[in-house]
Each structure stands twice: as structure tokens, then as C-alpha cells.
Structure 1
Amino acid sequence: MSWILWICFFVSLLLSYLDQRKILKLKDWVIIIAAFLLCELYVDLFGLLIPVGFIMGLIYMNKKKKFLYAKALMFGLITVFVIFYTPKISFQQIKALSESNKYTEQFNQVKAVSNFKIESDINNVLQKAANHLKDKNPNSEIPVDDPHVVFSIWVLQHRNVALQDLDWLWYKAPLELHYYWQINRPDPLVTLEYVVFNEVGYMGVFEREHEKEPYHLRTIYEFDRLKTWTPMIP
């Protein structure tokens, strides 16, 4: 995002000189741009910005009496300060925030949100737990890498429930523990897993980069209830 701010300030600088374009020569435009770029030279002193380039340009301007370029120095100074002190926000973070808002709109109240990176250990830990349940009943046809299996394991472990095997997890656990579950796949790369109890609900967001890759748990929402509908809890 910082480069967008830089471009905006740079274009604004050039536009601010348009009223003088008839008297400005090519050399003047070069010096204006150079003065602006000179302000990019600074020292980060324990989080305090020291505008070395601006000071150098100011000294040169006063010495040569070239006050025409003062505006370029001011634009450069403002630009470097804004970019330096503005929190670094990437497009990925903006996208994640937008998606988070889209998901949270369906809940009456969000109690907690947990985000995980692709390389987070949680996916390996949950996959090992799924494999362990498979070992208890090798004849089970429930796929161990299914997002519903993985998320159900997380939810029940989060609630300190002892797990039996994959068939129990898929077929019997919802009835015995009285919860509703649902899968929503808005596109081939995203699947949303819901597990809803009477007093609390959980939604897991699973993502993958390509259709042939396994899903990774990226976000968990804990909420009180859904806005639009109330599931039938067995």
C-alpha cells in the first residue's frame, strides 16, 4: 500500500506545478523530481524518522536561493513521514479483512476469532488426530482429510470431549452430543464448516490454492447464534 501513497503524492506534486509549466524548463522539472526523491533519504533512529534528505535539500536551496523547489521538498517530506508512520497494510490483509466482515455478518455476535497461517502447526496436529481415529477403526470409509472431520475434531477437543473413532465422529457424535453441523462450499477453493450447539456455534474456514491440493484451516469463528436461521439441534 505504501507505493500507492507514494504515487499519489508524486502525482500531486507534479500537478501543483502545472500553473508554472510555461516558465519551467526541462532542467527545472528534473530538479523538482530530484528534490522530491532526495527526501527518501532518511535515518530511522529507534522509530524516530530523521529527514536527512530534506535537510540536505533545504540547505542547498537556501544556499542557491532556489526557492522554486521548496514545494517539492515539502511534498517529499510529507510523503516520507506519511509512509514511515502509516501502518503497513498489504492487499492480502485488506482481502482478509473484507472476507472476515463478510463471514461475521451472518452471526448475531462473534465471541472469538482465531486466524492461522498455512504453515501453522494446527493443521498437522489435527491431521495426526484424524489418522489416530482412523487407526482405531481401519475399516472406516470416512476420509481423514475431509474438512468436516478435521474441524469436528478441533471443536470436540476444544470442548474437552473424548473422541472414539471416525464413524462415531461422523454419524453418532452429533446425536449424542446434541449439535448440528453443516458444510457450505461457496467455491472449489473454500469450504465453510459449521458446528452449532445450543449455547454456542463454531465456523471453520478452510482454503486451498488449487483444487488438487488439500484444504488448510485458516480461520475459526466462535459465535452465539446465526442471524438468519436457527438450526434444529438433535
Structure 2
Amino acid sequence: MGLILWVSFLVLLLVSYVDQRKTMDAKNWLMVIGVYFVCEFSVNLFGLVIPVGFIIALLYVKKKINFPLSKALIFGLISVYAISYAPKITFNQIKEISQTSRYSNEFNQIKSVSNFSSESDINAVLKTAAEGLKDKNPASEIRIEDPHVTFSIWALNHKNIAIKDLDWLWYEAPRELHYYWQSNRPEPLIDMEYVIFHDVGYMGVFQRDDTNSPFYLRTIYEFDRLKMNNVSIP
């Protein structure tokens, strides 16, 4: 995020000199960029940002009375404080916010959103739980790597419902417990699982790095109901 702000202010700075471009040579442009760059050096003293670079650049600019560099100083100073005090948002966070906004259009009201990574404990716990169910019934043909199995385990555990075995989870649980489930794979690396009870619904977004990698749970949405295509719950 800091890099984006820095580049954005630099572009704005250069644009502000466009009206003087006919009188500026390469040396002038380099001075503008150089002053802006020097302004970026600062010291954080107990949470207080001291613009050391700005002070140095200011002393230099005072000697260059033949060319106006005040804009470079102003943009440099603004950039320092904007980068220092702006919320630290990563590209992954921006991506998650964008995805949350996109997926939230499916629901009438979102109650909660939880995000995870492939290293999160929840993925290890769910994998262990699936393997335990497989050990109970080795003859089952249900693949425990299937995101539907993983998310069904999470949903029933979340509601404190005991799971008998894999076959029961896949075939019998929806009818006995009166919930609807659906799987949707909009693209090879993304899988979306829905488990919807009468009073609450859950959607799990699974992701994998490539087509040969296993899926891991990335996001859980808890919602009241779907906006459209309300499902028939058994």
C-alpha cells in the first residue's frame, strides 16, 4: 500500500510540472524526482514521524532559487506522512475485501466472515477429523479430500452435532438434520460449499494453488438466507 501511495504522489507531482515542460530539461526533471525521493527519508521517534529528508531537501532547494522545487517539497512531505500514518493494508487484504464484497451479494444479510490460510489450524483440524472418519469406515468410497466433506464436518461441528461416519455424512445427514447442501466450482482453483439450515446458512470458499494441490478452507460466510433462489430444505 505504501508503494502505491508513493508512486501515486510521484505521478501527481510530475503532472503538476506539465505546464512547465517546455522550459524544463532532463536535469530539471531529475532534480524534481531527486528532491521528492530525498523527502521520503524520515525517522519514527516514539510514533512521531520526523521528516529528516524534507529538512535536508529544503536546505538544498533554498540554494536553487533559479528553479522552483517547492512542489517537489510539498508532495514529498505529504507522501511521507500519508505513508507513515495510512492504515497498513496489504494486497491480500485488498483482494479479500474485494472477494467478500462480491460474494456478499448472494446473501440477504451476512452475520460473520472468517478468513484463513493454508497454514491455519482450522485446516489441519478438519483434515484430522476427515481422516478419523475414514478410519471408522475404511470401505467408504467417499473421498475425504472433497471440500464438501471438509465443510460438512465444519458445519456440523460448529452446531455441536456428532458425525456418525462418512457415508452418513454424505447421504443421510442432510435428510436427518434437515439442511440443504450444494457444491459449486466456478473455476478449477476455487470451490464453494453451501450448507443451509432453516435458521442459518454457511458458505465455505476453498482454494488451491494449482490443479494438483489439495483444497484448503479460505473463507467462511455465515448468513441468514440467500437473496435469490431460496432453497428447499428437506
Please say whether Structure 1 and Structure 2 have the same fold, judged by a TM-score greater than 0.5.
yes
The Cα shift of 1:24 comes to 3.8
State the distance in 2 between where 1:202 and 1:22 align: 62
State the distance in 1 between where 2:133 and 2:26 align: 74
Greater CA drift, 213-222 or 98-107: 98-107
Give the corresponding residue for 2:219: 219
For structure 1, list consecutive stretches of 5 or more residues without a partner in the other structure: none
State the distance in 2 between where 1:108 and 1:14 align: 46
State the distance in 1 between where 2:98 and 2:225 align: 21
CA gap of 1:75–1:33, structure 2 versus 1, over 3 A, is: same
Give the corresponding residue for 1:55: 55
TM-score, normalised with respect to structure 2: 0.92
Give the corresponding residue for 1:181: 181
Give the corresponding residue for 2:37: 37
CA gap of 1:176–1:21, structure 2 versus 1, over 3 A, is: closer
Give the corresponding residue for 2:130: 130
The Cα shift of 1:91 comes to 3.0
State the distance in 2 between where 1:84 and 1:187 align: 39
State the distance in 2 between where 1:142 and 1:26 align: 69
1:85 counterpart = 2:63:
no
The Cα shift of 1:207 comes to 0.7
Amino acid at match of 1:225: R
The Cα shift of 1:224 comes to 0.8
The Cα shift of 1:4 comes to 2.8
State the distance in 2 between where 1:221 and 1:21 align: 53
Aligned residue for 2:69, secondary structure, equals helix
Amino acid at match of 1:185: R
Amino acid at match of 2:194: Y
Give the corresponding residue for 1:209: 209
CA gap of 1:176–1:71, structure 2 versus 1, over 3 A, is: same
State the distance in 1 between where 2:98 and 2:219 align: 13
For structure 2, list consecutive stretches of 5 or more residues without a partner in the other structure: none
The Cα shift of 1:22 comes to 4.3
CA gap of 1:161–1:69, structure 2 versus 1, over 3 A, is: same
State the distance in 2 between where 1:100 and 1:33 align: 38
State the distance in 1 between where 2:64 and 2:231 align: 77
Aligned residue for 2:9, secondary structure, equals helix
Residues paired across the two proteins, number: 234
> What does the per-residue CA deviation read over 1:51-76, in whole Å, with 9 as the maximum and x for residues that have no partner?
00111222333466567222211111
Greater CA drift, 88-97 or 78-87: 88-97
Amino acid at match of 2:185: R
State the distance in 2 between where 1:111 and 1:16 align: 46
TM-score, normalised with respect to structure 1: 0.92
> What does the per-residue CA deviation read over 1:211-231, in whole Å, with 9 as the maximum and x for residues that have no partner?
111100001111111111221
Give the corresponding residue for 1:200: 200
State the distance in 2 between where 1:43 and 1:25 align: 33
State the distance in 2 between where 1:64 and 1:148 align: 68
> What does the per-residue CA deviation read over 1:109-166, in whole Å, with 9 as the maximum and x for residues that have no partner?
1111111011111111111111111111111111111111111111111111111110
Give the corresponding residue for 2:75: 75
| % same residue | 59
Amino acid at match of 1:164: K
